[in-house]
Amino acid sequence: MKNLMKHLKDWSKAFLWAFLVAWTIRTFFIQGAFIPTQSMEKSLLPGDFIFISKVSYGPRLPITPLAVPFMHQNLPFTDNTPAYLDWLELPYWRIGSIDVERNDVVVFNYPMELDRPIDKRTLYVKRCVALPGDELKIWSKRVFINGKPMPVSAEMQFTRHIKSSEPFPQRLLDSLRITEGGLVSNIHDYEFPLNDSIANFLGTLSTVSNVTMRMESEGDYQAHIFPHNRFFAFNNDFWGPVLVPQKGSTVQLNDSNIVLYERIIREYEGHTLEMAGGKIYIDKKESKSYTFEMNYYFMMGDNRDNSADSRAWGFVPENHISGKAWMVFFSHDPNTSEIRWKRMFSFIR
């Protein structure tokens, strides 16, 4: 009996140490995440399992400490029962300084999910195209930062309209790994999200007469595009120019531009905001300007025409950033269950 108790005690200690080591690694160093959508194709694919580097931007300390370890949102096998208690939320704190670089692939908590604590909101993966203090403008799909166009990566996809005299064989689409889009008419008109290489290849086929990029018109207002106000006639392909908020910088407020910043003031930085009689009141005091308390970032998917990103819901606060997408650890095609061996252990550019 003494030997049994000793073995149980030893096993309990070993389990506890293993648990603490795993929790420490996941919280402060590396965390895994699964890519479920096409918003980052072809840089990241549905079925990719990635590692998130927490140390790249300084580990964020848990904001919701009373939580079941290794569970992000809900308890398994329950009817959406939270795996955390939200009555205790700690202030945002990060070990070291956050140093996101332009073009980094960033993992962050979805800022629109206000019904959950910050660190329990759904994880999103996008590319950071603009940093705090940058002037951002999207013109004819091209991203301009401080007046200079950003390079377009080889993996970046845009929706193309393709006119063909014959249907595309499915084996051709499979060989090119075209998994989205399809026929848009009964006379062999197609729309596919494609990178330049595949679009150029399809353009060389004898059956294809035309390949054009789908483009919104300048000045066409789209209600689902941030800031969701007709005064700013923005759309997916024409957005801005807008200055990305930077900690310590001050913006002059008026009844026109307040729609750009009201969510920041209310939801992200925790102030009351009211408008009455043509005046703006922050914390019940008339305010003609506002000084930002955090840095903000503008995120976009590489699958530019099939990505819900900052164009739709605005800026990402620094306290929502979880880490940097670092490596594809495992990958499989969710449609065929085929393992993508070449993607395994590849670094994310």
pLDDT digits (tens, 9 = 90+) for 185-234: 888 899 999 999 999 999 999 999 999 999 999 999 999 999 999 999 99
Token pair for residue 280?
């703006």
Residue entry with tokens 């795993």:
22
Query: What is the predicted pLDDT for the residue at 18?
Result: 75
pLDDT bin (cut points 50, 70, 90) of residue 152 is confident
State residue 6's pLDDT score.
65
Sorted by sequence, the CB contacts under 8 Å of residue 307 that are 6+ apart come out as 39, 40, 126, 300, 301
Residue with tokens 């009141």: 281
Look up residue 66 and give its amino acid.
Answer: L
| Predicted confidence band of residue 10 (pLDDT cuts 50, 70, 90) | low
Cα–Cα distance for residue pair 146/109, rounded to 1 Å:
27
Residue of higher predicted confidence among 109 and 7: 109
Q: 64 and 334 in contact (C-beta within 8 Å)?
A: no
Q: What is the pLDDT of residue 293?
A: 97
Residue 160 CA to residue 80 CA, distance in Å, equals 39
pLDDT value at residue 349: 83
Contacts of 68 (CB under 8 A, 6+ apart): 75, 83, 84
Angstrom distance (rounded) from CA 297 to CA 70 = 27
Nearest 5°: the CA angle 123, 127, 132 is: 100
Instruction: Work out whether the CA dihedral 273, 274, 275, 277 comes out positive or negative.
Output: negative
* Angle at 82 (CA atoms; ends 80, 88), nearest 5 degrees: 160
Q: How far apart are CA 312 and CA 306, in angstroms?
A: 12
User: Given pLDDT bands bounded at 50, 70 and 90, which one contains residue 177?
Assistant: confident
pLDDT given for residue 328 in this prediction:
95
The pLDDT of residue 77: 84
Q: Widest CA span of the chain, in angstroms?
A: 83
CA–CA dist 53, 26 (Å, integer): 9
* Percent of the chain whose pLDDT exceeds 90: 73
Q: Which of 39, 164, 108 is nearest to 314 (CA)?
A: 108
The three-class DSSP label of residue 96 is coil
Given this model, what pLDDT does residue 1 score?
64
